[in-house]
Amino acid sequence: MEHLSHVALQIVDVDSGLDLGPGETGEVCMRGPQVMPRYHNQPQATADTIDPQGWLHTGDPGHANTRVSVKHQYCVTMVVHCLQ
């Protein structure tokens, strides 16, 4: 896995939103300057995806290992739309 600079990753319990420990499976969340701040003109989609602390909830299951890298259980496809 490639190291992503300036991106914070966490694995959270889907129901409680609490951080999970190494080896526990939960939802992959990320935040950082490379992560989109919002959906353009879609406030509800933004609220459904990005929490008040700025964590983008990917909806993808994964788990962290003790080296603080994330292993996805399924392939992740991210689509980036650029506004010019």
Q: How far apart are CA 59 and CA 27, in angstroms?
A: 6
Structural domain boundaries in the chain:
8-72
CATH of domain 8-72: 2.30.38.10
Cβ atoms within 10 A of the Cβ of 70, count? 17
Which has more confidence, 3 or 51?
A: 51
User: Does the pTM exceed 0.75?
Assistant: no
Q: How far apart are CA 29 and CA 64, in angstroms?
A: 11
Mean pLDDT of the chain: 78
pLDDT at residue 57 is higher than 90? yes
pLDDT at residue 63 is higher than 60? yes
Mean pLDDT, residues 1-16 taken together: 78
